[in-house]
């Protein structure tokens, strides 16, 4: 499982930030990723919690038919610039993905997002 997390300042050829996800994005991502192999699923997860860092608020998950296809996409996409932003690609736990656990776990939540006012 390849997780493409799109950072607002910095992640795939289609770059989006919070509130910028539209109905065409899944198809655009799938189309772009087919150059690496057979895309079996694309899922977009937008975190809408207040004070969550905008650089991590949109997560795009791309599932390929074969692991080597995901590896090829990871190598090619991670660190590339698109629309003034940098693609941040990483592998994602397939078990969590299959259970639709797409939100960041406690260890993944940035300190600024985890802090509560007045703490």
Q: Mean per-residue pLDDT for 47-68?
A: 81
- Catalogue all structural domains in the chain, each as residue range(s) with its CATH number: 2-15+26-102 (3.30.70.330)
Q: Which residues of 71-102 are buried (b: 16+ CB within 10 A; e: fewer)?
A: ebbbeebeeeebeebbbbbeebeeeebeeeeb
pLDDT score for 60: 85
pLDDT score for 117: 43
Nearest 5°: the CA angle 8, 117, 53 is 10
pLDDT score for 68: 86
What is the value of pTM for the model shown? Answer: 0.74
Neighbours of 116 (CB within 10 A): 6
Structure tokens at 98: 């299959």
Q: Mean per-residue pLDDT for 46-73?
A: 82
Positions of E strands within the chain: 2-6, 39-46, 58-64, 81-82, 85-91
């Amino acid at each position: 499982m390849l997780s493409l997390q799109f950072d607002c300042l910095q992640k795939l050829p289609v770059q989006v930030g919070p509130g910028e996800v539209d109905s065409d994005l899944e198809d655009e991502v799938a189309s772009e990723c087919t150059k690496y192999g057979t895309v079996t699923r694309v899922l977009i997860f937008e975190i809408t919690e207040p004070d969550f860092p905008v650089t991590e608020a949109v997560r795009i998950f791309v599932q390929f038919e074969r692991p080597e296809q995901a590896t090829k996409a990871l190598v090619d996409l991670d660190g590339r610039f698109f629309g003034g932003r940098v693609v941040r690609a990483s592998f994602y736990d397939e078990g969590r993905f299959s259970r639709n656990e797409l939100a960041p776990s406690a260890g993944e939540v940035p300190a600024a997002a985890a802090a509560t006012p007045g703490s």
